[in-house]
Amino acid sequence: MTLKNSSRLVVFLFLVTGLACNNSNDSSINKNVSLSSAQDSISFALGYQNGDFLAREGATEFSYDAYIAGFINGIEQNDKLDPATRTSLINDFRIQLTSLAKEKNRAESEAFLAENKTKEGVFETESGLQYKVIEEGTGASPTAESTVEVHYEGTLIDGTKFDSSYDRGQTIEFPLNGVIRGWTEGLQLMKEGGTYMFYIPSDLAYGENPRPGGPIKPNNALIFKVELVSVK
């Protein structure tokens, strides 16, 4: 097997999987193949990459036989579906995959917050915002119309860091009414010099519409460590 364009093959493997959606797994498939050659290893790696991605998105019900048949027929350029039907199936699957990912993210976020609010020192406001005082400040508290200067670090609930002013070595200033609702509410609980942890439900963060292609996905709850340096 010669892979002239592995990136196109990865895309093909992902797309053809959609044709098998909603069928059951075939337990007769041998999952313990011997990776005795470079061809075996790259073939397995490509298959694993796509299976792992789909599982993480919440899509696990496929017909393995149909997947393999689609792959082989794609290699041999023997399409059993007319292009319009194939395109329609793939587009429908993409929509379904997006919906599954949103539902999975929401469920995981809600489960995390439900457990987190039972931990010592964590408080929850009426909106669902959770916070923990790391260090109480002694200065002024901002209003929603204030401009604030902060240091912060943002992570996903699995600990993945997606942003940090500490890493950049520079604080940031912004009007408090121009950021996500969780920040607008949360920072008004603080005083200058204080440091809080905020655990923000998705509907107080970016909801179903985070920046496309970024690390924050639809319905992700977010965690922020925030140090309120000053209120302007």
Give the active site residues: 152, 162-163, 180, 206, 224
Residue 198 CA from chain centroid, whole number: 18
**How far is the C-alpha of 45 from the C-alpha of 53, rounded, in Å?**
12
Q: Which of helix, strand or coil describes residue 184? A: helix
Q: Tell me which residue has tokens 């121009």.
A: 178
Q: What share of the chain is helix, strand, coil (3-state, %, to 5)?
A: 40, 20, 40
* Cβ neighbour number for residue 41 with a 10 Å cutoff: 11
In degrees and rounded to multiples of 5, residue 149 shows phi and psi of -115, 125
C-alpha dihedral (150, 200, 129, 174), degrees to nearest 10: 30
In Å, the largest CA–CA distance within the chain is: 72
Quick one: CA dihedral 77, 71, 56, 219, positive or negative? positive
Tokens read off for 51: 């299976």
Q: Which of helix, strand or coil describes residue 22? A: coil
